[in-house]
Structure 1
Amino acid sequence: MHSIYARINNFSAFLSSCILTLLGAIALSSFLFTANPQGDLSVLSVKVYPGNSRRQPGLSQEYTFVNFNISADLTPLFHWNTKQLFLYLQAEYTDAKGVRNDVVIWDRIVRRKEEAVINVVGRNKYVFRDISHSFKNVPPANYSLQYNLMPHVGVLTYGEAGRTTEPVPFPPAQDFVSR
């Protein structure tokens, strides 16, 4: 006969095999649920201002402020395996030396389906500056609304919900006027 420890070991091995098989089936089934969320992204204005670098005193740096309007319906992305969405606005541009840059300038975490209809009029949440310290002779930038779907079980899914129709140019730096 088997001892009680052998029976507990057999039962727990069978139970863990069943749970792992179920989790694998859930992860594979999430590939069947594909959604194409639609959003509208428009850049209202882009302003470039000179400033001082905090890390290197005496060095001038140009900072860009982007005012944008986002309206998107992301409810098709929510299903039984969606834990949350990480939503972010990304600026894509090539600097004066020809290096391609992708900069996140705004983000939001959406945890429930009720919060998945996004209507935001705002400006960049994070500092937008170029490593060359200037946006002079930089070609226009494209802006896109990206998302990262985080499931309860399975792989992370990345996608795009909206994009500007035309590239938005960087204006020349303005003098900052304080009031």
Structure 2
Amino acid sequence: MFSTFQRLQQYCGLVTTALIFLCAAISIASQIQDRYFTPLPSAFLNIQDIELRYGKPPMGFNYKRQEYALTSFDLDADLTPLFNWNTKQIFVYLAATYPGRPYANKVVLWDAIITDRENAILSLKNETADYAVYDVTGKFNERSASLSLEWNVQPYVGLLTLGKSKERSKFTFPPLKSR
């Protein structure tokens, strides 16, 4: 007959296999729900102020003197549709996209982690951006940019889901007043 150790090993193998199939079913059901039955969150973005400065950016590891932008914005967003039974947390951020050489640049201005449905309604007025915007070329040259709200949904089980709002706010970097 089988020993106690062999029976325990078979039992653990059966439980592990059942848990793997259960996690796969939860992941698939969550992806189907998010893709076909969840409406997109609503968001309103507005840039209040953009200040272009010359010097060392206040954050980061860039030590050379160059142009950098500090911004403030208004944000009204309802992210509650992104929460379901499989949502652990949502990483939400504002991204500015502007043309560059040879590719478009995308930088994060502000970010937050939302862990429950009660905190998923954002209403920020005249909020200062967490990060300064600086370009690898060192100059903005009055380029136009667009601001969008983007998110990353982290589930308990399954794949990470990325998304962005359809609403975008367009703005132009102001000219540098003086060095």
TM-score of the superposed pair, with normalisation by structure 2? 0.88
Quote the offset at 1:124 in angstroms.
Answer: 1.3
Superposed CA offset, 1:120-177 (max 9, x none): 12121112111111111x5300000000000000000000135324x2111101348x
Name the structure 2 match of 1:25: 25
Residue 63 of structure 2 corresponds to residue 55 of structure 1 = yes
Name the structure 2 match of 1:115: 119
Structure 2: where are the runs of 5+ without partners? none
Work out whether residues 40 and 162 of structure 1, in 8 Å CA contact, stay in contact via their aligned partners in 2.
no
SS in 1 for 2:174: coil
Name the structure 1 match of 2:164: 160
Structure 1: where are the runs of 5+ without partners? none
Quote the offset at 1:13 in angstroms.
Answer: 0.8
Residue 22 of structure 2 corresponds to residue 46 of structure 1 = no
CA distance in structure 2 between the partners assigned to 1:52 and 1:128 by the alignment: 11
CA distance in structure 1 between the partners assigned to 2:46 and 2:92 by the alignment: 16
Superposed CA offset, 1:23-65 (max 9, x none): 1101111112222111111112222112246623xxx411111
Work out whether residues 144 and 160 of structure 1, in 8 Å CA contact, stay in contact via their aligned partners in 2.
yes
Q: Note the aligned Cα RMSD (angstroms).
A: 1.7
Name the structure 1 match of 2:74: 69
Among candidates 116, 124, 129, match of residue 129 of structure 2: 124
SS in 2 for 1:131: coil
CA distance in structure 2 between the partners assigned to 1:125 and 1:171 by the alignment: 19
Runs of 4+ off more than 4 Å: none
Name the structure 1 match of 2:109: 105
Query: Counterpart amino acid of 1:83?
Result: K
SS in 1 for 2:144: coil
Residue 14 of structure 2 corresponds to residue 14 of structure 1 = yes
Name the structure 2 match of 1:173: 176
Work out whether residues 91 and 143 of structure 1, in 8 Å CA contact, stay in contact via their aligned partners in 2.
yes
Work out whether residues 41 and 162 of structure 1, in 8 Å CA contact, stay in contact via their aligned partners in 2.
no
